[in-house]
Amino acid sequence: MRKIIFILYSIIFSAYLMSEEIFDSLNFNNDNILHPYNSFQRPYLNYKTLSDLDENKPDYFTIYGPELFSSYNSTVPYGQNDGALWQGKGINNKLSIGVFFKYNGLSITFKPELVYSQNLPFDYVTPNSAYSIDLYRDKAGIYGYYGIPSIDAPQRFGNSYLLNYSWGDSDIRFTWETFTIGFGTQLIWLGPAEINPIIHSNNAPPYPKFDIGLKKTPITIFSWYAGDFETRLWIGYLSESSFFDKDNSNDHNMISGLSLCFSPSPIKGLSLFINRTYLSPFSFDNFYTIPKLFIINLKHGGAQDTWDQRASIGFNYFLIDSQTNIYCEIGLNDYGPSLDGYIRYPFHSMVYTLGIKKLSYINEYISNRILFEISSFEMSQDFQFQWPSTFYAHHQITQGYTNQGQWIGAGNGTGGNSQYLSFEFFSKYWNLNIFFHRSNPDNDWYKYISNK
């Protein structure tokens, strides 16, 4: 399951009827790179969707794309941060085109995707023995995950090609000053990570969601500018893949999430953030999980662990003079047994992603950026000896932290680690990315097997 990848990543052909900022996994906004950090003010802090990138735009109508992404995997499936696309063995394509309309605070985005995967056969690990019963026959019993059984993450999505349609980055939204409320399927990217954000990325297919909150908002105290604040609350409707089980009663789960971020004015370029999510079966009875997003209870420990919940904290720091960006996100899955438990086991269930980016200018037309990001999602030592598990799974939700069979958080997946180094070159009309990526998908699998 270990693999080392070296790719000369060259050209993705895109034809633009009108030039526009497009949310992308590795480079979601060229302006972030082609402009100096001290002259470009981002319209977001921690919570990013396509609509958040358009916050500073005047009323207008435009066309997105068309965009065509193509990849070819010669031996095994590989790919992440690609939305509705699952990049199996063989040829993979994603085609997207859309329109955007904004007037008097009301905006409508329609940007669907058509995805195709050749999905050729390959040798994969035998699924977990828990999937051998009739409930999973012809589904996870054949294609299911090999590690912890409570994960809907097929190793292969059936035995034929895949052709799917997705609503993509579509939504309808109303914004008044910094207050915003909307409904749609726009993909969320949380935090500063560019490869493996812990709580939410655009790796999984988009899902219907409602969100409400404040976009980047200046905070003033008695005429003193204290900094910028951002918060967003969302509720989403997750779906099981077609290759998990035959129980139609558990096909959908609810995700509720809260994102808070503050950028203090005394330390220019610094942002501090907190993210938290709950998973629960989708029913109106479970909507009371939403207020619990605002409550931290250290007294009852695991007794409050009724739903599958995760949290992350971190910082994003731009060193403006050197045009260097340092960031870190630390994630937790599972409560310690109490405050005393955190004192004894401060790293209980902890995972992390950290990175550094350095921008430089070759000449007035070409810019260069070096990116180095590392991630670790393996179980903490105390956790694996108590009851073996993994970060993106919990027994309460049998599908794990997934939507339609793909990871909602880091595309690298659960239980593994990742190291990524890239050298990117940009101009107004093209970009070139040469990168080295080592991906070790799931060390927790070995720990799970050894503890059985």
Given a cut of 50, whether residue 210 has pLDDT beyond it is yes
66: preceding bond cis by omega (within 30 degrees):
yes
18 pLDDT more than 90:
no
Is 80 exceeded by the pLDDT of residue 392?
A: yes
Give the confidence band of 190 by pLDDT, cuts at 50, 70, 90: very high
Rounded-to-integer distance, Cα 262 and Cα 290, Å: 21
Q: How high is the pLDDT of residue 148?
A: 86
Q: What is the pLDDT of residue 132?
A: 92
- CA gap 103, 414 in Å, rounded: 42
The Cα-based distances of 399 to 198, 239, 248, 438, 448 in angstroms read 18, 9, 13, 27, 18
Q: Are 209 and 237 in contact (CB under 8 A)?
A: yes
Confidence of residue 404 (pLDDT cuts 50, 70, 90): very high
Longest dimension (CA), the chain: 67
Q: Round the average pLDDT of the chain to a whole number and report it.
A: 84
Return the ∠ at Cα 226 (arms to 224 and 228), rounded to 5°. Answer: 130
pLDDT at 393 over 80: yes
Bridge partners (DSSP) listed for residue 90? 73
- pLDDT of 9 over the 50 cut: no
Q: Band the pLDDT of 8: cuts 50, 70, 90.
A: very low
pLDDT tier at 92 (50, 70, 90 boundaries)? very high
Query: Which two three-digit tokens encode residue 396?
Result: 């309460």
Q: Which CATH architecture has domain 3-450?
A: Beta Barrel (2.40)
pLDDT tens-digit readout, 126-143: 999 999 999 999 999 999
